[in-house]
Structure 1
Amino acid sequence: YAVFPYSYFKCKDGYAFLSGFTDPNWAAVCEIMNRPDLQQQFPTIKERLIPENQPKIQHEIEKWTQNYTSDEILEIITEYSRRPDRKGTVVTGRLEEPKDTLQREHWKLRHTFVEFDDPYYGKILVQDSSFHQMSRTPGRIKWPCRPIGADNALIYKKFLGYGPSKLEELKSKGVL
Structure 2
Amino acid sequence: MNAEEAGLPLGEGPLRGLVVIDVTRVVAGPYCTMMLADLGATVIKVENPAEPDYVRSFPPFVQGDHGRASAFFAQYNRHKLGISLNLKTSQGQALLRKLIGKADMLVENFRPGTMAKMGLDYEALKAENPRLVYVSISGFGQTGPHSLRPAYDNSAQATGGLWSFNGEKGRPPVRVGTIIGDLSASFYATIAALAAIMHARQTGEGQLVDVAQQDSVVTLTEHAVVNYTVDQIVAEPLGNDHPFVRPYGQLACKDGFVFFGAYTDKFWREACRIFGEPGLIADPEIDTMEKRFDPQVYERRVAPIVRRWCAHRTKAELEDMAGDVIPLTPIKTMAEVVEDPHLAAREMFVPVVMDGVQVKAFGSPMKLSKTPVNASGAAPSFGEHNTLVFRLWAGLSAGELGRLCAEGVI
TM-score range, shorter chain: 0.5 to 0.7
Distance 1:116 1:45 in 2: 47
State the secondary structure of the residue aligned to 2:270.
helix
- For residues 12 and 138 of structure 1, do their structure 2 counterparts lie closer, same or farther at Cα, with a shift above 3 Å needed? closer
Distance 2:257 2:350 in 1: 27
Structure 2 residue identity aligned to 1:53: V
Q: CA deviation at 1:100?
A: 0.7
TM alignment of 1:4-153, pairs within 5 A: 4-31=246-273, 32-34=275-277, 36-37=279-280, 39-56=283-300, 57-77=302-322, 90-114=326-350, 126-129=361-364
- For residues 116 and 50 of structure 1, do their structure 2 counterparts lie closer, same or farther at Cα, with a shift above 3 Å needed? same
TM superposition score normalised by structure 2: 0.26
Q: CA deviation at 1:116?
A: 6.7
- For residues 7 and 141 of structure 1, do their structure 2 counterparts lie closer, same or farther at Cα, with a shift above 3 Å needed? farther
Report the more deviating stretch, 24-33 or 6-15: 24-33
Deviations 1:22-66 (A, max 9, x none): 223323323324273583331111111112333342232112211
Structure 1 residue identity aligned to 2:330: R
- The residue aligned with 1:173 is none
Which has more helix, going by share of residues?
1
Return structure 1 stretches of 4+ with deviation > 4 angstroms.
Answer: 114-118, 123-126, 137-142
Mind listing any 5+ residue stretches in structure 2 that lack a counterpart?
1-241, 380-410
- The residue aligned with 2:80 is none
Structure 2 residue identity aligned to 1:64: W
- For residues 99 and 23 of structure 1, do their structure 2 counterparts lie closer, same or farther at Cα, with a shift above 3 Å needed? same
- For residues 33 and 19 of structure 1, do their structure 2 counterparts lie closer, same or farther at Cα, with a shift above 3 Å needed? farther
Deviations 1:110-145 (A, max 9, x none): 542357799xxxx986433267x998x966797xxx
Mind listing any 5+ residue stretches in structure 1 that lack a counterpart?
82-88, 143-176
**Residue pair 1:33, 1:64 contacting (<8 A) in 2 also:** no
Distance 1:4 1:107 in 2: 28
**Residue pair 2:269, 2:278 contacting (<8 A) in 1 also:** no
- For residues 129 and 26 of structure 1, do their structure 2 counterparts lie closer, same or farther at Cα, with a shift above 3 Å needed? closer
Report the more deviating stretch, 5-14 or 31-40: 31-40
**Residue pair 1:128, 1:141 contacting (<8 A) in 2 also:** no
Distance 1:10 1:125 in 2: 31
Report the more deviating stretch, 14-23 or 97-106: 14-23
Indicate the RMSD between aligned Cα atoms, in angstroms: 4.1
Structure 2 residue identity aligned to 1:63: R
TM superposition score normalised by structure 1: 0.53
